[in-house]
Amino acid sequence: MCMGGPPAPPRQEENEPVLEVRVQLLGGGGAHNINDNADILSEILARLDGRSLAAAAGVCRLWAAVSRRDAVWEELCLRHVGPASGPAAAGHATRTVVAALGGYRRLYRLCLGPALDRLGRAGALAHAQARERLSLSLSLSLFSIDCYERLGGAGGGGAAGRQQPPSSLLFLCKPVDVS
C-alpha cells in the first residue's frame, strides 16, 4: 500500500473524519482507505495523544478494536516517560509486568494520563519538560497499588465470602498469636 510519504501526525483537537480525508488525499486518490489495513491504522493511532486515542474508540468498530490494542497504548505510554526510565522501559520484562497488572491502556488511564494532566496544569510546562518528569517506575508503583486494591474487591469492606485460594499457591503459616 503506497501512501506517498508518512501521514502528518494529527493535531490534538482534530476531528476524526478530517484525519481520514487527509490520509486519503496523501494516498493519491480514492483507491486506498485507512481502514483497509488494521496494522497501518494501528501505527497511525499510536501517534495520537491519550485523549484523542480514547476518542478514536468511538469512531467505528474497526477503530474501536484497534485503539484498544494494548500495543498502541504502550507506544503512547513510552512516549511520555522520561529518559531516566532507561532502555529497559521498552523491554519484554516491563511488558510482562504491565500486562499482569492490567495493561498499558489502564496504566495510562489511571496513572500517566492524570499525572500528565496535573503537570500540564501545574504551570504551563512545555510538553517535553512534562515528559521528562514522568518516571515509569513511579507509575508502575502506583499501578501495582491499584491492582492490589482491585484484588480485594471494593474498598475496605470486601466481598462477603472470599473463595479460599488454592493452598499450593500460598504459604500462610498459622499465625503466631502472642496476645
Partner 1 sequence: MGRSAQGDAATAEVARKRQQQEDAAILLVHLLISCANAIQAGDYAAATSNLAAARTALATTVSTAAGIGRVLSHFAAALAQRLIPAQHGAAPNAASSAAHASELYRQFYEAGPYLKFAHFTANQAILEACDGCDRVHVIDLAIMQGVQWPSLIQAFSLRPGGPPAVRITGIGPPPAADGSRNELQDVGVRLAELARALNVPFSFNVVTADSLDALKPWMFQIVPGEALAVNSVCQLHRLLVDQDAASTSLPSPIDAVLGWVTALQPRVFTVVEQEADHNKPTLVERFVNALFYYAAVFDSMEALSAQRLALTGRPAAGGLGAEAYLQREIFNIVCSEGSGRVERHEPLVLWHARFWRAGMWQMPVGPSALGQATALLRTFSGAGFRAHECGGCLSLMWHDQALFTSSVWRAAPPTNTAAGDSILDKQADNGKSSSGSSDHHQAAAAPGGIAMK
**Which residues would be at the binding site for partner 1 (CB under 8 A)?**
88, 93-94, 96-97, 100-101, 114-115, 117-119, 121-122, 133-135, 137-138, 140-145, 147-149, 151-152, 155-158, 162, 165, 169-173, 175-179
State whether the Cα torsion 142-108-96-93 is positive or negative. negative
Residue 32 and residue 179: Cα distance in Å, rounded? Answer: 75
In the complex with partner 1, the residue whose CB is nearer, 53 or 98, is 98
Looking up cell 474498598, which residue turns up? Answer: 155
Burial of residue 174 (CB within 10 Å: 0-12, 13-18, 19+) is exposed
Nearest distance in Å: CB 27, partner 1: 40
Nearest distance in Å: CB 16, partner 1: 25
In the complex with partner 1, the residue whose CB is nearer, 22 or 133, is 133
Whether residue 36 contacts residue 2, with contact meaning beta carbons closer than 8 Å, is answered with no
In the complex with partner 1, the residue whose CB is nearer, 5 or 175, is 175
Nearest distance in Å: CB 68, partner 1: 21
Looking up cell 493511532, which residue turns up? Answer: 45
Burial 93-102 (b: 16+ CB within 10 A, else e): ebbeebeebb
> In the structure grid, which three cell numbers stand for residue 6, read together?
508518512
Whether residue 131 contacts residue 77, with contact meaning beta carbons closer than 8 Å, is answered with no
Nearest distance in Å: CB 103, partner 1: 12
In the complex with partner 1, the residue whose CB is nearer, 128 or 171, is 171
Nearest distance in Å: CB 1, partner 1: 38
In the complex with partner 1, the residue whose CB is nearer, 63 or 104, is 104
